[in-house]
Amino acid sequence: MVHQVTSFLNYWLNEVNAHSLQSPFIYSLYTTCIRKDSNKNEFKEIEQTRNRLLHSEMLVKPIDWGAPSTVHSNSSNVRVSAIAKQGLTKPKISRLLNRLIQYSNSKHIVELGTSFGLNTLYMAQSEEVKVTTFEGSKEIADIALTNFEFFKKSNIKLVEGNIDETLPKFIDSRIHIDFAYIDANHRFEPTINYFKLLLKRTHDNSIMVFDDIYWSKEMTQAWNTIKEHPQVTLSIDLFDVGIVLFKPDLSKTHYTLMF
């Protein structure tokens, strides 16, 4: 908690808005996509599902392959509502993912950390995209699958199991990745490993979004390492998430942007 508070203060002191952006590319990305949060009404049904999860008394026994949970252990049953309250991203982040996919015209999407599938549904809103999402806990994955079936989504493929084992197999399939959202193991080494694996199938116009970059010192260390990678030409800190792009025609720049 101390790390998160200190990190937010640092973010708040350094964040800038559109008036400080000189690059035409980042100005356009920021003003027409990141800050233009005008698509709230498109997702009322998904948000109703979020509300049901936040009030669900259903008990599950999830498995954590990553950083230890603060609401349960691998041997305990826990209410879905407790997991949802701690683990679901903010609706504005879900909408941002949808806008970024539309802005970049991404078709092949990868998500690490399905959870209950809300972000997956946001990212799979267009039937033109294909989302492959990875979840480590079978009981959590089953709830996500139920949500996908409710919304009649045929453009989502869920891969259940330890992501450390399932992701390398997927990467070996040589599919290219336009957009990746990483919200899985919140430790330094696994996060860096996921980044390097995904990098094998990205291209110049790919986008990666990392959730919870200030969740812990390890996640912040991972974020700092990723944004310094030589293939990353543009990195954007929105506090809740970090975004990286790989466009070779951009000079390497980092932005901390108001969101």
User: What is the spatial distance between Cα 190 and Cα 185, in angstroms, rounded to a whole number?
Assistant: 6
Is residue 73 a part of any domain in this protein?
A: no
Is residue 153 a part of any domain in this protein?
A: yes
- The pLDDT assigned to 72 comes to 47
Is residue 166 a part of any domain in this protein?
A: yes
- The pLDDT assigned to 71 comes to 52
41 contacts: CB under 8 Å, gap ≥ 6: none
Is residue 176 a part of any domain in this protein?
A: yes
Amino acid at 196: K
> Based on the structure, what is the number of domains in the chain?
1
Is residue 78 a part of any domain in this protein?
A: no
Query: Could you tell me the CATH number of the domain that includes residue 143?
Result: 3.40.50.150
Taking 50 as the pLDDT cut, the residues of the chain under it are 69-70, 72-73
CA-wise closest residue to 158 among 150, 168, 166: 166
Is residue 12 a part of any domain in this protein?
A: yes
Strand partners, 16: 257
Encoded tokens for 202: 């990205």
Domain residues for the domain of 181 are 2-42+88-256
Is residue 177 a part of any domain in this protein?
A: yes
Distances (CA, A) of 170 to 52, 108, 159, 160, 228: 32, 13, 9, 12, 26
Is residue 172 a part of any domain in this protein?
A: yes
Classify the C-alpha dihedral 164-167-171-176 as positive or negative. negative
